[in-house]
Structure 1
């Protein structure tokens, strides 16, 4: 249903599951286990796995905090997109990577729910992609200071993404066990 012509394929995005990003994240281990499940399934089904890695003044490139968590292993043949903004498309080669693979549908996982995940799902959707947010495979921190706790941020994001709509595009939020990499 994507509005991108000649893009029948799906890709799995793994966004910013870096040591410093998820160190204090809600349900960190459960989310990483779910992402691992999806990475294994995507590889078994020959679905591209695209890794996204953030850096900025608070997350220095090549630092220990910048590294992907050791529980996740990227294969050398799998693209790695470096970014400096919340939206994984902004000032990166992600669009080119997806176009080369004929991808019009994204299955999105990672961190932080309230920043990079939200920015990327919205960025993808406005660019014409169908976007499935994996409801139990994204996370964030409890930031305090009168803000909602992480569990509420995640639940709210899942709720509104499930109901997101636009002409010619499909959005949904589904649990890991219900993810399919084929069009439904």
Structure 2
């Protein structure tokens, strides 16, 4: 009788230790997803902070291109107003966030294209520096989005695998969405001079 109780207690202890370990590993992976999301937002904020400098630099050379400047400013405003808390990250909200950020990228492309019409602007050291900063920021955004997707994939895989899926369901760990390519991204952009 004593051996039976010892075996039962040992099995329960092993299950408790496994449960605690599983829960803690899921929490760690969920935090990695949150950290990766913060890094994505940080890079978008960096881009948003650079935009006023770029706009003002280009404005000095191309004062009659008001429409383009307004499009950049409006896109930036909308993008900075579209925020998502990591705890409320749904595929729909992520898609809305991506659309807002895509509008910023599109407006910036038009702004950069203006420089083709203004040789003095292209030669401006300020413009070249800001353009390089924006290019670097776009690369950083791409890297951080990839890192977020990798963290989300590892987390989503962990909460779906047996037996962790039991603990994930018990403690409310939910699947995280991924960044996806924007619609039409499979087509190469047309460049006209």
The two structures have a TM-score, normalised by structure 1, of: 0.26
The two structures have a TM-score, normalised by structure 2, of: 0.26
* Larger proportion of strand: 1
Larger Rg: 2
* Larger proportion of helix: 2
